[in-house]
Amino acid sequence: MATAKPNVLLIGTGGVGTIVAYEIHTVGKSTLSVVVRSDYAKVKDQGWEINSSEYGKVESWKPDAIYSSVENAAKSGAVFDYVVITTKNLPDIIKPEELAVPVVTVGKTTVVLIQNGFDIGRPFITKYPQNVCVSGVTHIGSHNHDGVITQTQKNKSFIMVTI
């Protein structure tokens, strides 16, 4: 009997997040959904254009599902095995552990933080003590302008598991 692919939701589709999403999707071992805010209409219709030093030119790339908000992802009825957060780490403006509330299933969802900062997993461990939190940083030259991703430097990620 075939095992279902893990269901992944990525929140934060700027230059870094979109490259991470593309990498997850091209491996083909999961179903990938993303939350897109400012470029939602364009990306939903046309996909992203990616100009990458690592992957070359990719036109009209789309993941399996695109949502305009975390709330809409939750309303879809999908249960996410992994929630990957690649937003800027600005806890004074928006707390990522609060942003993720609608899509984290207690005791099931693994939270993956790819953000800059120290001890960024601590608020998730406090809020979701029954979940696994994986945190890390990435070193990449990448930016998003109107649904066009330009990557000038290879993605190097460093990950730490916090249970």
Q: Where are the alpha helices (DSSP H) in the chain?
A: 15-27, 40-46, 70-75, 96-99, 122-127
Domain that holds residue 90: 7-162
CB 113 within 8 A of CB 136: yes
Q: Is the pLDDT of residue 11 over 70?
A: yes
Q: Is the pLDDT of residue 13 over 80?
A: yes
163 against 56, higher pLDDT: 56
Q: Does 1 reside within a domain?
A: no
d(CA 153, CA 68) in angstroms, rounded, equals: 28
Q: Is the pLDDT of residue 132 over 90?
A: yes
Q: What is the pLDDT of residues 57-84, one digit of tens each?
A: 999 999 999 999 999 999 999 999 999 9
Average pLDDT, the chain: 92
Q: Does 71 reside within a domain?
A: yes
How are the residues of the chain apportioned to helix, strand and coil, as percentages rounded to the nearest 5? 25, 35, 40
CATH assignment at residue 75: 3.40.50.720
pTM of this prediction?
0.93
What's the confidence (pLDDT) of residue 131? 96
Residue among 158, 6, 35, 44 at smallest CA distance from 103:
35
Q: Is the pLDDT of residue 15 over 60?
A: yes
Q: With bands split at pLDDT 50, 70 and 90, how would you rate the model's confidence at 159?
A: confident
Q: What percent of the chain lies above the pLDDT cut of 90?
A: 74
Q: Is the pLDDT of residue 140 over 90?
A: no
Q: Does 157 reside within a domain?
A: yes
Strands 110-114 and 65-67: unpaired
Q: Is 108 helix (H, G, I), strand (E, B) or coil?
A: coil
- DSSP secondary-structure letter at 94? -
Q: Does 2 reside within a domain?
A: no
What's the confidence (pLDDT) of residue 163? 53
Which value, in Å, is the radius of gyration of the alpha carbons in the chain? Answer: 15
Q: What is the pLDDT of residues 108-124, one digit of tens each?
A: 999 999 987 777 888 99
Q: How many structural domains compose the chain? A: 1
Q: Does 51 reside within a domain?
A: yes
Q: Does 88 reside within a domain?
A: yes
Q: Does 39 reside within a domain?
A: yes
What's the confidence (pLDDT) of residue 160? 65
Who's near 90: CB < 8 A, 6+ residues apart?
none
